Structure 1
Amino acid sequence: MMAMTVQDAAKSVAGLLHDTQGDGGSAGITSVVTDSRKVGPGALFVAIAGEHVDGHDFVGSAAKSGAVAALVDHVVEDAPVAQIVVKDTIAALGLLAKANIALRRAAQAPFTVVGITGSVGKTTTKDLLKALLASQAETIAPIGSFNNDIGMPLTALEVGERTRFLVSEMGASHLGEIAYLTSLVRPDISIVLKVGVAHLGEFGSVENIQKAKSEIVEALDEHGVAILNADDEHVVPMAAIAPGKVFWFGQGSDAQIRAWNVTTDEHDRAEFDMMLPDVSDPCHVRLAIPGRHNVMNALAAASAAWYLGVPADDIVRILGEQRHISPHRMSVFRLERGGADFTVIDDSFNANPDSMKAGLDGLAGWSAVSGGRPFRIAVLGSMLELGGDEAALHRSIGEYAVHAGVDAVIAVGGEHDALLDSLAGDLAEGARAASGDAPTLVETAHNVDEADLAVIRLARDHDHAVVLLKGSHASGLSALASRWERNDHVPDSVNAGAATKNGETL
C-alpha cells in the first residue's frame, strides 16, 4: 500500500474521523482488510454489514489485534480505535482504492494496470499473466476471483511504491458494474476474453452481456490498448469503441498473436505453435495446465505480456511452467477413496453453459492412460442465473456430455433447494434423451454425499476412472472437491446410504 495516514484515508473517502484517543489520525496504515481475522499491526479494518455477519461486531477485536482505524457506517461505542464514519463502507473501500492508485500513478516510476474481463477464463488468464509479468517486475494480482466491488478494491490497495504491474480481474452480473470498477481503477490495457451466457438471467440478453463487457474497453484513454478475442463475434465489434490501439489474439489468421497446430496429450494438456509480432519464427508452447480451452487464455496473457516487453523465450517457458492456478480450476489430482482409485479434474469453482462445455471437452480429451481407456465420469451441478431458458440450457448440457463421449453423468441438485434439484433433473433428462441406445450411465444426486458415494461405486467398478467436478457454487461441488483433496471420511449410511465392499460399510 502507498504511504497513507488515517487522516489521509478519511479525507479520501469524505469520512468523519471519530477519534476518542485523540492521536489516531496521524497513524500510518500498512494494510486494508475486511476480515477481522486478518488484522495485524497498522491495519485499517473495513466493517461490512453482510447478510449473515456484520463486521461492526468485530471492530473491538480488530483494535486488539493492532488495527489503527476502522471504516464504519456508524460509531461503534467503546471500541478503542479511531473510526472513519461513512454512509457506505463498500463504496468508501472503493474510494480508498482509487486514492491508492492515484498516489501510485503520481509517483515517478512506471506503473501499468491490466484489466481482464470475459464470461469465462478471467481467473486463469489472470494467473498466467501474473506469472509472466512477475518474471520482470513486482506484480500485484488478486487471489482467486477477487473481481467485484469488494475484492477488486482490496487488491488495488495492495499496490505500493515498488509495484510495476497491477492485474485487475473485473466481473459483472449487471450493466454498469465494470464501469464502476474501472472508475476506481482505470486500466491501461483491457483484455476481453469471451462474451458468453454467464448471468444471462440477470442481464436479460447476450447483447446486454456484450455491452457490460465492453465497459472495460470504454474505460481506456487514448493511450490505452484493447486486447480482444478475434474469434468471438461478440468481442470483435468492441474494436469500434476502443479509443486507442487494438491488439488481436486468436486462432484465426486475423490475429496478431495466433495459435495453430493445436493438439492435446492424454491429460488434455495443449501444445501449439504461436506467432508473436516481430518474431520471425513461431514459438512452440506446451501448457502444463489441462484444458484445450486454455489455449485462448494463454494467448490473451501472452498478448499483454508481449506488449509489455516480456521476451518471447520467457513467455514460452513461463506458460509451460504453470501447473498450479487458482483453486478449483482444472486442478488435477489422484485419489484413493473408499476402495476406489480415480483421477479428479476439479473445475468446480463455478459454472455456466460455456464453461460447462469447456470442462466436458477437457474430460473428453483425457483420452489415454497407462493400462487402458479411461472411464469418464462427469459430476455436474446445477447452473444459476440463466433466465427463462434455464431448463433447456441444462438439458442441452446433458446432451453435450453424452455427445462428448462421457461414460457416466451424475447430475447434482440440492435436497433443500427445489430449484437446484429441478435443474439437475433437467440436466439428467437431457443426458438420458441423448443416450438412446448408447451405454451412457445417468444418475441424479440430491446432495454431494450421494455424489461422493456414486463416484466411489462407479470408480470401483471401472478401472482408470477420471472424474470431472463442475457446477455452480450453490451446488456444493467445490466443497466436495475440498473434501476429496483432504480425503475426509467417506459419508456413511446416516446421510447418504452406505457404500459397501465385501459386505462391509465404507
Structure 2
Amino acid sequence: MMPVTLAQVAEAVDGALHIPDQARAPQGVFEPTVVSDSRQAHDGSIFVAIPGERVDGHDFVAQVAGKGAAAAIVEHPVDAPIAQIVVKDSVIALGRLARYNLAARRAADGDFTIIGITGSVGKTTTKDLLHALLDELGPTVAPFGSFNNEIGLPLTALHVGKRTRYLIAEMGANHVGEIARLTQIAPPDIAVVLKVGVAHLGEFGSRERIAQAKSEIVRGLAPHGTAVLNAGDPYVAAMARIAPARVLWFGLDDTRQEGAEPATTARDITLDDLDHPSFTLVDADGATAKVTLGISGRHNVANALAAATVARACGMTLERIASTLSRVDRISAHRMAVSRIERGGAHFTLIDDSFNANPDSMKAGLDGLAAWHAQDGRQPYRIAVLGAMLELGDTERDQHRQIGAYTVGKGIDEIIAVGNRADAHFDALAEAVSQGARERVEASGRDGVSIHWVHDAAQADELVVSAAANHADTVVLLKGSHMSGLSALAERWSK
C-alpha cells in the first residue's frame, strides 16, 4: 500500500478511530499490507473484519492483534488490544480504502496505468498472460487466482505501492451494476472485454443483459481511456459505440463491417501433440512474429491476442511479446494445468481445468482433450470427468445434455458425469450430461464409449484409476463448476 497514516485510513473509509486501552497504534506514516484473512496478518497489517455466512472476521481480531497487526477495520468495537476503525460496512470500507490507495498512487511520481479485464470466459488466463508481459516493462500488480469481486479486487488494488507501474484488475459480475461499482474503485485506463457468453445466464436472464453488464467496464473508463475489444464477438464489438476515446481490436474472427480498423490477430494456427498452439501473431499495423504458447488450448490464442494488444498499447515490441508469451508455461491453478499422476498403481496424464465451467469453457476443455497427441498418431485413452455448470437459467438441463453430446462427438472414450448426493439439483444436471452422451451414441451408432453418472468425486476417482490401470496411455480432463468438487479431486491426486 502507499504510505499512509492511521488517521488518513480512518478518513478514507469514513470510519471512527477507536483505540482501546493497552493498544499500540502506529505513529506517523507507514506502508501496511491489508488483509481480510487473519492467517495472512503480520506485523504492521491492517485487518478488515468481514462478517460472512460461516465465519465472522470480528472473531479473529484478537488473534491478529497478537500477530502484531497495526489496526483492524470493524463494524463494531471488539475487545482486543488493537487500534480499530469502526465503519458501517467493512466491505464498502475496503473498497473505499482501495480507491484512496489508487488515487494516492496516481498523484505520486511516475507513470501508473490500470488495466481492467472482463468477459464470460478467459479473464484469469488473459490476466496471467498480461501479467507476464507487463512485468517486463515495470512492476506489475495482478490478482492472485480469480480475485475479481467487491472483496478480491480491492485487496489486489491495495498491493499497489509507490513503485507500481501497472495494476491489472480482473472484474467479474453476477448482476448488472457490479462491474460499474468495481470501476468506481479502480477506474481503468485500458478496459479489455473478451467475450459475452452464457455464463451466469440464469442470473442475468439473457445474453443482452450479460452484454450490458460487461459494457460497464467500458463506460467506467478513465477520461481518454482505451477500450480493447474482441472483433469476433458482435456483442463486444458493439461496445465501441460507448467507448470514450480510442478503441483497439483483437480477435480470430471479425464480425464488424467491412473496412473497419485492423485488429491484432493470429494466422496459421497449429497444435502440437500436447495441444500447445503455434501461430503467426499479426498486430494492427501488419507486423508479424512467430509464437508458440507455453500453455495448452487453442482457445488461449484469443486470450493471448488480447494480452498482446494491451502490451503493444503500453509500448512493448512485437518480438518481445512473442518471446514472453512463448515462455509462459504456468498460469493460475486448475486452468488447463498438465501433470503426471500415479494413483493406486495406475498412471495417467491429468489436464486439470476444474476451477469453473460454463458451456464455452467446457467445450474448449474438451477440444483440448480431443487434441491431446492427436497429431502424432498415438491414440491415448481419453476420459472426461465433468461436473455440473451452474447459473444457466431455464435451459440448464438442455445445455448439459448438449455438453454430453458434444463430448461424444469429440471422440472421447469415457465420460464420467459427477453429481452430488446431497444436492438433487446438482445431481440432476450431471445426469443430463450422461443422458446427452447416451443419446448421441445411439444416434451416431458409435460403439465403445463408456458413460457413467456418479454421485461424488470418490466414485469418479475409482473409475479413473480402474480405467488407467487397464490402459497404459490415459489422459484425463477434469472440468466442472467450483461446487463440483473436482478441484479437490485434482489436489488429492497431486499429493
TM-score, normalised with respect to structure 2: 0.96
Are 2:490 and 1:481 equivalent residues in the alignment?
A: yes
Aligned to 1:384: 390
- 3-state SS in 2 of match to 1:288: coil
Match of 1:262 among 252, 257, 269: 269
Match of 1:401 among 407, 419, 427: 407
Are 2:49 and 1:43 equivalent residues in the alignment?
A: no
Relative to structure 1, the CA distance from residue 72 to residue 139 in structure 2 (aligned partners, 3 Å threshold; closer, same or farther) is same
1:409 is displaced (CA, Å) by 0.7
CA deviations on 1:184-225 (whole Å, 9 max, x unpaired) are: 000000000000011111111111100000000111134110
* Matching residue's letter, 1:106: A
* Matching residue's letter, 1:137: G
* Matching residue's letter, 1:125: T
* Matching residue's letter, 2:89: D
Aligned to 2:257: none
Aligned to 2:208: 207
Hey, what's the Cα distance between the residues in 2 that align with 1:56 and 1:408?
A: 48
Match of 1:289 among 284, 290, 295: 295
Hey, what's the Cα distance between the residues in 2 that align with 1:181 and 1:252?
A: 30
Report if aligned partners of 2:417, 2:452 keep a CA contact under 8 Å in 1: yes
Aligned to 2:423: 417
Aligned to 2:368: 362
1:375 is displaced (CA, Å) by 1.1
1:369 is displaced (CA, Å) by 8.0
**Larger displacement relative to structure 2 (306-315 or 253-262):** 253-262
1:277 is displaced (CA, Å) by 3.5
Hey, what's the Cα distance between the residues in 1 that align with 2:199 and 2:239?
A: 19
1:6 is displaced (CA, Å) by 1.5
Hey, what's the Cα distance between the residues in 2 that align with 1:352 and 1:344?
A: 20
Report if aligned partners of 1:7, 1:26 keep a CA contact under 8 Å in 2: no
1:312 is displaced (CA, Å) by 1.4
- 3-state SS in 2 of match to 1:163: coil
- 3-state SS in 2 of match to 1:51: coil
Which runs of structure 1 show a deviation greater than 6 angstroms over 4 or more consecutive aligned residues?
A: none
CA deviations on 1:234-287 (whole Å, 9 max, x unpaired) are: 11100001011000001236642111111111111101111124464x211100
Correspondence list, 1:80-479, <5 A: 80-252=81-253, 255-278=262-285, 280=287, 282-368=288-374, 372-436=378-442, 437-438=445-446, 439-479=448-488
CA deviations on 1:311-330 (whole Å, 9 max, x unpaired) are: 21210111001111000000
* Matching residue's letter, 1:298: A
Aligned to 2:78: 76
Hey, what's the Cα distance between the residues in 2 that align with 1:19 and 1:177?
A: 34
Hey, what's the Cα distance between the residues in 2 that align with 1:192 and 1:219?
A: 12
**Identity percentage over the alignment?**
55
Hey, what's the Cα distance between the residues in 2 that align with 1:49 and 1:222?
A: 36
Report if aligned partners of 2:273, 2:376 keep a CA contact under 8 Å in 1: no
Hey, what's the Cα distance between the residues in 2 that align with 1:372 and 1:211?
A: 46
1:404 is displaced (CA, Å) by 1.4
CA deviations on 1:78-101 (whole Å, 9 max, x unpaired) are: x00011001100010000000000
Report if aligned partners of 2:117, 2:192 keep a CA contact under 8 Å in 1: yes
1:367 is displaced (CA, Å) by 3.2
Relative to structure 1, the CA distance from residue 237 to residue 12 in structure 2 (aligned partners, 3 Å threshold; closer, same or farther) is same
**Larger displacement relative to structure 2 (4-13 or 158-167):** 4-13
Report if aligned partners of 1:19, 1:25 keep a CA contact under 8 Å in 2: no
Hey, what's the Cα distance between the residues in 2 that align with 1:279 and 1:402?
A: 40
- 3-state SS in 1 of match to 2:73: strand
* Matching residue's letter, 2:5: T
1:20 is displaced (CA, Å) by 2.2
Report if aligned partners of 2:18, 2:85 keep a CA contact under 8 Å in 1: yes
- 3-state SS in 2 of match to 1:456: helix
**Larger displacement relative to structure 2 (22-31 or 435-444):** 22-31
Report if aligned partners of 2:24, 2:70 keep a CA contact under 8 Å in 1: no
TM-score, normalised with respect to structure 1: 0.94
Aligned to 2:64: 62
